[in-house]
Amino acid sequence: MKSTVVRSVLGSLNEMTNGDARKSVVIVGRPNVGKSTLFNRFLGEQAAIVEDHPGVTRDRNTREVEWCGRYFNVVDTGGWMPGGSVLDSKVSRQVETAAREADLVLFLVDATAGLHDDDGAIAAWLRTTARPLLLVANKVDNLGAETDLWQFLSLGLGDAVSVSAIHGRKSGDLLDAIIDQLEIKADDLAEVGVFVRDPTTKEPRVAIVGRPNVGKSTLFNRLVGEERSIVHDLAGTTRDAIDTRVVTTDGPVIFVDTAGMRRRSKVEPGTEYYSIIRALRAVDESDIALLVIDATEGVTSQDQRLAERIDASGCPIVLVLNKWELVEEEHREEVEIELHRRLYFIGDSPIVRLSALTGKNVHRLQPLLTDAITNYHRRVPTKDVNRVLAAAQQQQPAGQGARVLYALQGAVDPPTFTLFVNRELPRTYLRYLERSIREAFEFGSTPIKLRVRTRSEQG
C-alpha cells in the first residue's frame, strides 16, 4: 500500500523516479453520497468507516488500487460543506487540496436524492481547479434508475457514469473509464489481482497512538510536512487510520495517524468503536509505535492501558511527551519520575520531549525511529546467541540441573529466539536470559520474544 510522498522534517525528500509515480484519483462530493463506500468497493475491503449519516469521513485516506494489471492511487475525502462550522471548513479545505493535486477527480452525486443545490456549487468550484473530471451517479441500483440521470446534465459536466457502490453494479465499467481517462499502461511486473508485488521491500510503518486530544494529528502533520490530518480541539476528530509515505534520508517510512483511544466503558457504539478497531489494527501492523502523552496532564491510567496493549503486540515503543513547552520548569522532573513509575513495564523505551505545535525537538525522533526499526528487523548469528547464553549460564546457573542446550533466532519483527532446554526454566531465569541477550546485542527498547522447547517436546 502506497500513499502520498511528501517532504518531512525527519529528512530531505529523495527524488522519485517516474516509474514510482502513481496517478491519483480523488473522490469528492456532498456528505453521505457514498464516497467511502465507493472507495471500499475499489479496494475490495472495508478500508474506510461507512455509516448512514454525514460527516463520518474527515481526513484524506489514500490507498493503492489495482485493476487489470494497472495501478493508481485512490483518495477518499470528507463531504464538501461550504459555509459550515470551523470543523466543516477544515474538512472542505482537505477536499480542495486533494482535488487540486489529482490526476482525475470523480465527482460523486446521489441518484436517489436527485440534483442538490450543493452539487451545483461543487461543480462550479471543480471547474476552477481545471482538473480532469468524471461525473459519477451513485446508488443506481437497477436499469430503471438510469432514466433519471438526465437531471445532472444541468451541471454542465456531461453525461454521468452510473454505478452502485454498495452492490458493485457497473463498478468494473467505472474502473475501465478511469483507466482510459488516465491512460495507464499495464505494469509488466504486475500479476492481475495481486496488490503486493515484492514483499521483501516492505516499508517500515510507524503508528502514532494515544488518548484523544494529546496532539497525535498535530505531530503527524509535523512529521509528514503538510496538513494531512485535520486538527481540532474536538475529541474524536480523527476517525480512520491515515497513512502517508514519507521519503527521508534514511529511506521511505509510512506514518499512520490513528484515532484517539478512550477507556472501553466510554467508547460509543458505531463510528468511535470502528475507529478504535482500526487504530488497534494499525498498531498490530506497525513496526514501531509513538505513544503520545500530554505532558501537561502526565501519565494517566488510559496511557498505561495503551502502553500495555502496544507492548503485548510486540511493537517497539517510543514515548513522546508532547506539549513539553507548557510544563513549568519546576514540575518537569516530577512528570518524568511519574512516567517511569507508571510505565516501568515497558523497560528502557526512549523518551522524546517535544512540541508538535512548534516543531521543537521533533527532529530528535529520527535517530530513535531508525534504531528501533533496524533492531526490529535484526538477525543475530546462531553462534553468537549460544556464546552469550553460555556465558550467562556460567555466571548465573538456573539451578536444579536446568540449562539451555542450544539456541537460535527463529524469527524477526520482533526478534524471536528459540531455546532448547533439558527441563523447564523458571520465569525469573528467562527474564535474566532475555536481559543478557538484549544487553549483549544492544537491542535497546526493541521487544524480544523467547520460545522454550524442552527435551520431551523436541522428541
Q: Where are the domains of the chain?
A: 24-182, 199-376, 382-458
Average of pLDDT values for 40-45? Answer: 79
The residue assigned the cell 514519507 is 246
Question: 219 pLDDT exceeds 90?
Answer: no
Return the C-alpha cell found at 332.
Answer: 518537569
- Regarding the domain delimited by 24-182, which CATH topology (the fold level of the hierarchy) does it fall under? Rossmann fold (3.40.50)
Question: 215 pLDDT exceeds 60?
Answer: yes
Per DSSP bridges, beta strands 351-353 and 205-210 are unpaired
The whole-number pLDDT of residue 384 equals 94
pTM: 0.57
Quick one: which of 95, 91, 89 has its CA closest to 108? Answer: 95
Mean pLDDT for the chain? 77
The whole-number pLDDT of residue 260 equals 59
Model pLDDT for residues 288-344, shown as the tens digit of each residue: 888 999 999 889 888 888 888 888 887 888 999 999 999 999 899 999 999 999 988
Model pLDDT for residues 382-399, shown as the tens digit of each residue: 999 999 999 999 999 888
Q: Matching CATH topology for 24-182 and 199-376?
A: yes
Strand partners, 270: none
What is the maximal distance between C-alpha atoms in the chain? 87
Model pLDDT for residues 410-447, shown as the tens digit of each residue: 888 888 999 998 888 888 999 899 889 988 998 877 88
Average of pLDDT values for 258-264? Answer: 61
Quick one: which of 410, 422, 423, 421 has its CA closest to 449? Answer: 410
Identify the weakest region by mean pLDDT among 139-148, 283-292, 356-365: 139-148
Q: Is-cis flag, bond preceding 199, omega within 30?
A: no
CA–CA dist 284, 15 (Å, integer): 31
Model pLDDT for residues 159-191, shown as the tens digit of each residue: 888 888 888 888 888 888 898 888 876 654 444
Share of the chain above pLDDT 90, in %: 15
CA–CA dist 335, 318 (Å, integer): 17
213 and 230 in contact (C-beta within 8 Å)? no
CATH of domain 382-458: 3.30.300.20
Average of pLDDT values for 117-131? Answer: 86
Gyration radius (Cα) of the chain, Å: 25
Strand partners, 351: 319
Class of domain 199-376: alpha beta
Quick one: which of 98, 135, 116, 103 has its CA closest to 30? Answer: 116
